[in-house]
Structure formats: structure tokens, C-alpha cells
Amino acid sequence: MAVLTTPPKESQSPRPVPRAPAVVPSRRPGITRPLSRRDPEPQQSNKQEEFSENEYLVTHEVGAGEDGWRLDHFLKDRYRKRSRESIQKAIETGAISIKREQSPHLHLGRLKPSAQVFNGDRVMVLSERKPEPEVNFNYRVIYEDDSIFVIEKPANLPVHPAGSYFFNTLLVHLKTQGHQDPLKMEREYFLVHRIDKETSGILVLAKNKESCAHLTKQFADRTTSKRYFAVVKGVVPEAFEVDAPMLRDDRSLISLKMRVGTIEEPEAQTAFTGFQRLEVAGDFSLVECFPKTGRQHQIRVHLAHAGHPIVGDKLYGIPETEAIRFYERRNLSAEAMAHLILPRHALHSAGLSFEHPTTKKRMTFVTDLPPDLREFVESQKLKTP
């Protein structure tokens, strides 16, 4: 049986299924069991089949704007990195099924790439689950209501699927209730902003599309307030600013690396961060960071650009030859490990303020340094904030 292994496009917010989906595709290739008059529910199988541990089911709901689309066209829109030929093969070999409860199109028959999908359909994709690196799912819920979900994220937890991480990400974990449910693409929890895998601290997610749009606009309009703590190398000035545009570093072999650029470079985007020194001890400074823009890796890049890389930063704090070893999942040299000092970069999202999307009240959330960073700070005789 052909399976789709590329995670769906990120904007659709995926959701995995380790076992026993609500609707099970027929063992006959490409067929969802047709409705008979005796069926209590349209195309609802009451037989619970077990999937192997390396399989999962992803559910995509067909919206009004996709009514009447070809099935292969619908899936190509969801899996943009997959070729149309591989999608068609998956359909023809039974990796795709449809759950349809609305009339008048209840009898689907054998699925073909040209089959139409209709508003309300649930397209089920059987996919292969591959091994992923271990992560830390011990996040703490700070606040939750019908519109927003605010947590304190631990280090070593990717926020969204990327690279080697799909199931072992915060977003998929939430959408599947801790990997207990099937992965529905349109389920609640929408990313509003992001923090890096190794960065700990406050993160807000929206629980519906309307709240997501409202919060996303606040970040885009820079009406939110963000505060971070960082432990850096060297003695920084009492207060300083870095106003330096950023863009992807096309000179690096690491695709996600960013760099400071100039306004003359077409792809460069404005980036501004304010810094306040809190404590100094020996060759380390504890710094409060206030990013006014939200570029990828902004605080890390700006501090490295200022000559004070964050302790433990494997991308901007060590030579690129060593960084490449890390991103290729090879062991870092003893020299690089000694230079990093910490197993993760010392950056923590300590404060976030925004307008609630429903009540319109200003909300402010704060957290202290997590135990690992607090221990390091205290070991260096730095006073904790």
C-alpha cells in the first residue's frame, strides 16, 4: 500500500492518529464502504481496526471553497511537496478514503484521482510514521479559555512540524490530545507566534481562526509587548539597541541560519531589539531583551552581531563547521561543547502582553527563569531576576 509521508502544509495545522480511527478505509483499494439502508450512520464503520505503530491517519475537512474539487487536486493543495503522480498512486492503492455523511453523494464507489470532493467531506490519508528525536512535553498551562491557550514551553520542544520533527511537536501533540486522537488538520490550536525549539518560556496559541487572526494582527502591528531573559558571553553595556535588518544567510550551508544585512539587500527586513543589562559576573552578563519586531532568531542574531552570543547557542555561538556537525546530528567536538557551556541556548521568553481577542482586555503574562537556567545563573554568581 502506498502511503504519504510528507507532513501536510503547515498552515492547515496537522493532527496525528496512532490507532483506531473513527472511520476505517476499506481493505479493497481505494474504496470507502458504500452506504446501505441498514447502516445506522452514513459510511460509519463500527469495526475498530488497529494500525501498526509506524502508521497514522490524517483527516482533512473539505471547505466550502473546495466544493467540487478533484480529489488529487485537493490533496496536492495539502501536500505541496508531493508530486501529483505520488498522490494519484496513493489514491489508487487505497491509502486515501473519504467519509461522507451529507447527501446526495453518499455512494462513493471506487476512488479515483478524478473523484470529486464536496463541502463537509472528510478525506482520510494513511501515512507512515517515522522515528523522531525525543523531546520534552512537560509544558505548563498558564491560562486557557475558549479563545486562547497560554503555556510555559520547556526547552527541547519544537513548536510546529519541521525537519525531523512532526509528531514530537507542541502543535501536533495538542491537536491529538497527547497523541491519543486522530490528526485532524482543522482542529483547534493555531500558532500565533513562534519561539525556537531550545527557547523556553511563554507562548500563546489561538483556539479558533477568528482569535488567531486577531492575535496575528497584533504581532504584525507590533502592539504586543515581549520580554526575554538571555545569558550572554562578555560584559555588555548597561543599555543598548541593535537596529539591524535581517535576512536568510544564503552564504551558509545551514538553511535556517539568518544574518544581519543592509537595507540595500532586497530580502532584508527591518529588525530592532532593545537590551538592558541586569547583572554581570565574570565573563557573563544577564540581559533583558525587548524585541520590537519578530524576525526568525532575531535576539540570537542581534546579540551575536553585537559581539555577545548567547551561552549555548549552537548556530550563532560556535564556528559553522561545528554547527553543521550538530545539525547533521553528529557529535560536536569536545572543544565546541566546552565553548557552548550549556546543552541549550540560554534564552527564555519571560513576558508577553497583548489584547484578548474576545474581551479586548489587555492581558499580561510573566514567568521566572526555568530551573536549568536559574541553576547556571546562580552558579556564576549572577543575581536572578
pTM to 2 decimal places: 0.76
Establish if 374 belongs to a structural domain: yes
Establish if 170 belongs to a structural domain: no
Residues classed as catalytic = 196
Q: Is pLDDT larger for residue 139 or for residue 35?
A: 139
- Distance separating alpha carbons of residues 133 and 232, to the nearest angstrom: 27
CB neighbour list of residue 37: distance below 8 Å, 6 or more residues apart: none
Residues 44 and 149 in one domain: no
- Residue 38's pLDDT band (cuts 50, 70, 90): very low
Residue 51 has what pLDDT? 52
Cell of 8: 501536510
Torsion angle, alpha carbons of 321, 324, 325, 328, to 10: -160
| CA 210 to chain centroid | 19
Report the CATH number that the domain containing residue 74 is assigned in CATH: 3.10.290.10
Pair 20, 45: CB distance under 8 Å: no
Its domain, for residue 336, covers 143-153+186-379
Query: What b-and-e string marks burial along 94-114, b requiring 16 or more CB atoms within 10 Å of the CB?
Result: bbbbbbbeeeeeeebeebebe
Q: Is pLDDT larger for residue 158 or for residue 22?
A: 158
Q: State how beta strands 183-184 and 55-61 pair.
A: parallel
Residues 149 and 198 in one domain: yes
Residue 79 has what pLDDT? 85
DSSP 64: G
Residue 15 has what pLDDT? 37
What is the torsional sign of CA 229, 233, 239, 240? negative
Q: Is pLDDT larger for residue 106 or for residue 262?
A: 262
Helix, strand, or coil (residue 91): helix
Establish if 168 belongs to a structural domain: no
Pair 346, 311: CB distance under 8 Å: yes
43 has pLDDT over 50: no
pLDDT digit string (tens) for 45-92?
222 344 556 777 888 888 888 999 999 999 998 888 789 999 999 999
What mean pLDDT comes out for the span 31-45? 34
- Residue 105's pLDDT band (cuts 50, 70, 90): low
- Distance separating alpha carbons of residues 256 and 244, to the nearest angstrom: 18
Please give the share of the chain, as a percent, with pLDDT higher than 90: 57
Query: Across the chain, how many H-helices and E-strands are there?
Result: 8, 16
Establish if 233 belongs to a structural domain: yes
Q: Count structural domains, the chain.
A: 2
Helix, strand, or coil (residue 334): helix
Residues 217 and 365 in one domain: yes
- Distance separating alpha carbons of residues 148 and 192, to the nearest angstrom: 10
Residue type at 147?
S
Residues 11 and 74 in one domain: yes
Residue 242 has what pLDDT? 98
Cell of 110: 471506487
Q: State how beta strands 200-206 and 225-233 pair.
A: unpaired
Least confident window among 8-12, 159-163, 254-258, 325-329: 8-12
- Distance separating alpha carbons of residues 21 and 43, to the nearest angstrom: 13
Residues 102 and 15 in one domain: yes
- Residue 6's pLDDT band (cuts 50, 70, 90): low
106 has pLDDT over 70: no
Of 163, 176, 169, nearest to 191 (Cα)?
Answer: 169
Matching residue, cell 535576512: 247
Report the CATH number that the domain containing residue 283 is assigned in CATH: 3.30.2350.10
354 has pLDDT over 70: yes
pLDDT digit string (tens) for 170-205?
998 898 776 666 666 556 789 999 999 999 999 999
